[in-house]
Copies of this chain bind each other. A is one copy, B any other.
Amino acid sequence: MNQRDAQRLETRRTLAEHALRLFRDQGFDETTVEEIAAAAGVSPRTFFLHFSTKSAAAFPDHDIRVEEFRTRLGSGVDRSNPLSHLCQTLVIGLDTTSPMRRTRYQLLSTVPALQDEDSRTDRDYESVAVAYLIESWGDGVEVRLRAHAVANAMMGVIRASLIAWGDAGIDPQRVCLEMLQRMFGSPFDQPLQSLQSNTATSG
């Protein structure tokens, strides 16, 4: 880790910290990028060197987490039951320890711009999940659709659980795992895996 890299990460961290604080204290729309930059002691232009949009500053660890997710998925040994492995990997990735993360999801239920950003981040997880499912099931038009549907549905459950965590403090891991298993448990998994063989019938 260079001194340069350390300084860059520190700037980024400071920006994200002040952004979330300002969003929480005075509202998202009432906070300008100029204010965030000033609070972090940098120029407004610098903000956009670290985050592509104002709302992205509320999800500073997004890229890292997606990569973690991809890595954990890939290193999975349980290739016999891809859906189950996917569910577990998603749930393990839920971090309910950081208070900053909690603040983020509390904001999420009231700020549309942050909901947009959240949907955007969900799309990245979804892409990884879809790639994994296609790799597991084999490619095909119909399989591709099912992979997207399953990934979308899973992310929907995760999102609802995280918002409930922010709003009501409900432990997302427990309830997520239960609901995902109910939706994608054994009665769902077997027929889906059998799709490998009949992809030619679709389209």
Contacts and interface: CB of A to CB of B under 8 A. Distances in A.
Interface string A173-203: 0010001001110011001000000000011
A169 to B, nearest CB: 8
B145 A152 contact: no
A138 interface: no
A100 interface: no
A148 B164 contact: yes
Q: Which 4 A-B pairs have the closest CB atoms?
A: A152-B156, A148-B160, A119-B119, A153-B153
Interface of A: 112, 115-116, 119-120, 123, 141-142, 144-146, 148-149, 151-157, 159-161, 163-164, 168-170, 175, 179, 182-184, 187-188, 191, 202-203
A160 B156 contact: no
A170 B152 contact: no
